[in-house]
Amino acid sequence: MWAANCHRALRRLYFLRLTLPNITHVIENEIKHWLLRPRTIRLLWIGFTVVLSALALADVFLHPHALFDVDGTFGFYSWYGLLTCAAMVLFAKALGVLLKRSDTYYDD
Amino acid sequence: MMISSLPPFAIFYIGAVILALAPRGARPWIMLLIPVAGLGNMATLDDGLHLSFALFDFQATLLRVDKLSMLFGWLFHIAALFGAVFALHEKDLSQQVSATVYAGSALGAVFVEDLISLFVFWELLAVSSVFLIWARRTAKAYAAGLRYLIYQILSGVILMAGVLLYLYTTGQNSFSQLSLDNTASALIFLAFGVKCAFPFLHTWLTDAYPEATPTGTVFLSAFTTKVAVYSLARAFPGTEMLVYIGAAMTCFPIFYAVIENDLRRVLAYSMINQIGFMVCGIGIGTELALNGAVSHAFNDVIFKGLLMMTMGAVLFRTGKINGSDLGGLYKSMPKTTTFCIIGAASISAFPLFSGFVSKSMVMAAAVEEGYAWIWLMLLFASAGVFHHAGIKIPFFAFFAHDSGIRVREAPINMLIAMGIAAGLCLYIGIYPWTLYSLLPYPVAYLPFDTTHVLTQLQLLFFSALAFTWLKLTGIYPPELISTNIDADWLYRKLGPTLVKNVRVLYLRAIAPMRHAVNEGGSMIAQLTQRWYGENSGLGGVQTVGATIAIALLFFAIILVWDLLAA
């Protein structure tokens, strides 16, 4: 809260041309929310990649009793999740072209 | 221990009357007290049938206490409780009373043992709930509420027709398992289907729920559809058609949810997706499947309630609910963000969150019964729900691009309500045995099998990868202010347009006829004018003397005529 107030005060000062623009820039970086810091973002990327690879490779040790045919393939749950979701978004996007109207469509 | 046979709905109905008469300041607390008293009453209910009385030629029974009705009984009390906490700041009497009557009607419907009483509570559910939509007091909410009411009453009318036919053909009034081989059962099935949001009958839900008040939607999302799920589980377990209807319900809303901008409407679509799992489980009909279906209903009310509450809090604080207007709210509403993520993880069935322990039972049952394609559809739907409810909701509301909106954290009562629901999501997810002990059949299912946990994580994480990849490459469809056409287009656009056009065509077709009639009419008018008008021989008479003279003349003619005729 203190940081946010500080930030706001500085922004106001900048707006009134009482300080130099690059000072607010520096301060802004200093008080950035931890989620927005480049370091956090890099760590998130690394963590995400490690978890994904570990999960994908888990299939080497994992032998899910194939229930039907298709789910016996290597990394079935991984590729099925990835591909169906990507296909779903693409299909939904195409559907959007067909189904989207202005937000006042039903009003008249 | 004291044994009570007070039907749960009675506490809510009496409570609603007290609520209406109570002073303003006391009302929110009374509303809170009602489900608490109800929970106390629930604990003392004795198994079996109670409160039977003769109704016309039939027997009505208001209280059937068994595992299935008790599960929904507990659930509806919990939902009424966190709903009341969430609405503790609410001053609107109409919402307080209608929410209480609504919750009571849902309890009435799940505890009755006969079809006539079921019909009565079915209609009361419809009539009491619509005020939660109208209480938004906007033109849009009013119109959506009317459409909602038409659907709900339609469901009631179909149910009445089905029940009357059933009473007439079988002479039975008991609400128990039915087979879908006669018209009466088919009508009852259809009535349940409308309230359960079957495909093409679902638009009342996605139309009206997002238009209700921030607190109203929390109540709405808990009761109506779950009463329908209960009714299907009671009357139609093992009906194969439900497997396919359910699977369709899990899949089609995903596409709509992905392109929908109003985040509460996204949740409404995802609600149909979750009900799909329950309907599918009821259709499969084995003990495992039915346990899965009703336990998923239990969990869904809690995590969907939680998600609706977080979005309600966002709407309450910012006045906005469109993904295109929101973003970056984690800075000002960090607690709400956390609760939303817990709800999102639960609906996505992450291990250790509530959805995981119930949804997987339905999936396992589909495998056991050899429904390969259905299983693939459910698996796709599981990944898809993570996409639109698990990622999209928290992402566009609380993260994404910073909208610049800075508000206060949600009020304390809302945070407590969300806390209760989030706590339950985690508790059931980590220790599912309490929930399992409430299920209608003994549970031999072990959710935390290593393979199962890992395969579920693979599915979810790679679904998240698809989102990340499409978002970063800019392929993911942007949030746009728009309306997406759904089946309601039939009666909101096509119908009115047809009626309008038919009217124009009709007017055009009868134009010559009207012309002829007009012409004929005016000709008669002209002739009348000429013969009897003010300038005609008769009509032109202006003085009393002339009038008397004409009258005498006619008199003389009649006299002469009379004489001659004689």
The residue among B84, B78, B150, B141 whose CA lies nearest residue B107 is B78
Nearest-by-CA chain B residue for A77: B459
Give the confidence band of A19 by pLDDT, cuts at 50, 70, 90. Answer: very low
Rounded distance between C-alpha atoms, residue B366 and residue A29, angstroms: 53
CB contact under 8 Å between B458 and A58, yes or no, is: yes
A68 CB within 8 Å of a chain B CB: yes
For residue range B491-543, what is the model confidence (pLDDT) as tens digits?
999 988 999 999 899 989 888 888 888 888 889 888 888 877 777 766 666 67
CB contact under 8 Å between A95 and B462, yes or no, is: no
Rounded distance between C-alpha atoms, residue B6 and residue B41, angstroms: 7
A81 CB within 8 Å of a chain B CB: yes
Q: Using an 8 Å CB-CB cutoff, list chain B residues near A63.
A: 451
Interface with chain A: mutation pick from B140, B252, B259, highest number of A CBs within 10 Å: B259
Rounded distance between C-alpha atoms, residue B127 and residue B204, angstroms: 14
CB contact under 8 Å between B458 and A55, yes or no, is: yes
Q: Please determine, for residue A15, whether its predicted confidence score (pLDDT) is greater than 60.
A: no
Question: Among A84, A89, A92, whose Cβ lies nearest the Cβ of B380?
Answer: A84
Rounded distance between C-alpha atoms, residue B478 and residue B471, angstroms: 9
Task: Write the single-letter amino acid at B132.
Answer: L
> How does strand A100-101 pair with strand B48-55?
unpaired
Is the distance from CB of B331 to CB of B406 less than 8 angstroms?
Answer: yes
Structure tokens at A32: 């950035």
Interface with chain A: mutation pick from B472, B483, B497, highest number of A CBs within 10 Å: B483
The residue among B231, B18, B223, B20 whose CA lies nearest residue B129 is B223
Can you tell me which residue has the tokens 């739907």?
B381
Is the distance from CB of A106 to CB of B405 less than 8 angstroms?
Answer: no
Give, for all 566 residues of chain B, the pLDDT tens digit.
Answer: 456 778 999 999 999 999 999 999 999 999 999 999 999 999 999 888 888 888 888 889 999 999 999 999 999 999 999 999 999 998 999 999 999 999 999 999 999 999 999 999 999 999 999 999 999 999 999 999 999 999 999 999 999 999 999 999 998 899 999 999 999 999 999 999 999 999 999 999 999 999 999 999 999 999 999 999 999 999 999 999 999 999 999 999 999 999 999 999 999 999 999 999 999 999 999 999 999 999 999 999 999 999 999 999 999 999 999 999 999 999 999 999 999 999 999 999 999 999 999 999 999 999 999 999 999 999 999 999 998 899 999 999 999 888 888 999 999 999 999 999 999 999 999 999 999 999 999 998 888 988 889 999 999 999 999 999 999 999 999 888 888 989 999 999 998 899 999 989 998 988 888 888 888 888 988 888 887 777 776 666 667 888 888 888 988 999 998 888 86
CB contact under 8 Å between A88 and B331, yes or no, is: no
Residues in chain A: 108
CB contact under 8 Å between A101 and B367, yes or no, is: no
User: Nearest-5° angle of CA B441, CA B443, CA B445?
Assistant: 145
CB contact under 8 Å between B469 and A86, yes or no, is: yes
Average pLDDT, chain B: 93
Structure tokens at B105: 């009607």
The residue among B202, B193, B204 whose CA lies nearest residue B145 is B204
Residue A66's pLDDT is 66
Can you tell me which residue has the tokens 């004929």?
B520
Residue B291's pLDDT is 96
Nearest-by-CA chain A residue for B258: A92
Q: Using an 8 Å CB-CB cutoff, list chain B residues near A78.
A: 458-459, 461-462
Question: Among A88, A89, A103, whose Cβ lies nearest the Cβ of B481?
Answer: A103
A95 CB within 8 Å of a chain B CB: yes
Q: For residues B391-425, b (16+ Cβ closer than 10 Å) or e, as one string? A: bbbbebbbbbeebebeeeebeebbbebbbbbbebb
Q: Please determine, for residue A60, whether its predicted confidence score (pLDDT) is greater than 90.
A: no
Nearest-by-CA chain B residue for A95: B255
Rounded distance between C-alpha atoms, residue A107 and residue B556, angstroms: 73
For residue range B1-60, what is the model confidence (pLDDT) as tens digits?
456 778 999 999 999 999 999 999 999 999 999 999 999 999 999 888 888 888 888 889
| Nearest CA-CA distance, residue A58 and chain B, Å | 8
Question: Among A58, A82, A96, whose Cβ lies nearest the Cβ of B462?
Answer: A82
β-partners of residue B60 are B53
| Nearest CA-CA distance, residue A64 and chain B, Å | 6
The residue among B38, B65, B63, B39 whose CA lies nearest residue B53 is B63
Q: Using an 8 Å CB-CB cutoff, list chain A residues near B384.
A: 84-85, 88
Q: Where are the beta strands (DSSP E) in B32-127?
A: 48-55, 58-65
Rounded distance between C-alpha atoms, residue B163 and residue B121, angstroms: 14
Domain ranges within chain A, ordered by starting residue: 2-31, 63-101
Structure tokens at A65: 């009793």
Cα dihedral sign, B319-B320-B325-B330: positive
Q: Using an 8 Å CB-CB cutoff, list chain A residues near B383.
A: 80-81, 84-85
Question: Among A33, A56, A83, whose Cβ lies nearest the Cβ of B331?
Answer: A33
Give the confidence band of A21 by pLDDT, cuts at 50, 70, 90. Answer: very low
Question: CA distances (Å), B510 to each of A81, B46, B408, B501, B524, in order?
Answer: 61, 70, 64, 14, 21
| Nearest CA-CA distance, residue B207 and chain A, Å | 12
Question: CA distances (Å), B172 to each of B178, B346, B393, in order?
Answer: 11, 42, 47
Q: Using an 8 Å CB-CB cutoff, list chain B residues near A86.
A: 466, 469-470
Domain ranges within chain B, ordered by starting residue: 237-490, 510-565
Task: Write the single-letter amino acid at B484.
Answer: N
Q: Using an 8 Å CB-CB cutoff, list chain B residues near A79.
A: 462
* Sequence-ordered list of residues with C-beta below 8 angstroms from that of B366, at least 6 positions apart, any chain: B280, B284, B289, B374, B375, B378
Residue B113's pLDDT is 93
The residue among B355, B93, B130 whose CA lies nearest residue B223 is B130
Nearest-by-CA chain A residue for B400: A36
Structure tokens at A26: 């520096």
A35 CB within 8 Å of a chain B CB: yes
| Nearest CA-CA distance, residue A25 and chain B, Å | 17
Q: Using an 8 Å CB-CB cutoff, list chain B residues near A92.
A: 254-256, 258-259, 477
Q: Please determine, for residue A27, whether its predicted confidence score (pLDDT) is greater than 60.
A: no
Q: Using an 8 Å CB-CB cutoff, list chain B residues near A82.
A: 462-463, 465-466
β-partners of residue B58 are B55
Q: What is the DSSP string of B219-279?
A: HHHHHHHHHHHHHHHHH-TT-HHHHHHHHHHHHHHHHHHHH--BHHHHHHHHHHHHHHHHH
Cα radius of gyration rounded to whole Å, chain A: 25
Q: What is the DSSP string of B105-150?
A: HHHHHHH--BHHHHHHHHHHHHHHHHHHHHTT-SHHHHHHHHHHHH
Rounded distance between C-alpha atoms, residue A106 and residue A86, angstroms: 31
A100 CB within 8 Å of a chain B CB: yes
* Sequence-ordered list of residues with C-beta below 8 angstroms from that of B372, at least 6 positions apart, any chain: A67, A68
Q: For residues B314-341, b (16+ Cβ closer than 10 Å) or e, as one string? A: bbbbbebbbbbbbbbbbbbbebbbbbbb
A90-99 contacts, C-beta under 8 A, 24 or more apart? A90/B475, A91/B255, A92/B254, A92/B255, A92/B256, A92/B258, A92/B259, A92/B477, A93/B258, A93/B259, A93/B475, A93/B476, A93/B477, A95/B255, A95/B259, A96/B259, A96/B477, A96/B484, A99/B259, A99/B484, A99/B485, A99/B486
Rounded distance between C-alpha atoms, residue B151 and residue B225, angstroms: 13
Is the distance from CB of A59 to CB of A52 less than 8 angstroms?
Answer: no
Q: Using an 8 Å CB-CB cutoff, list chain B residues near A33.
A: 330-331
Can you tell me which residue has the tokens 């999740």?
A81
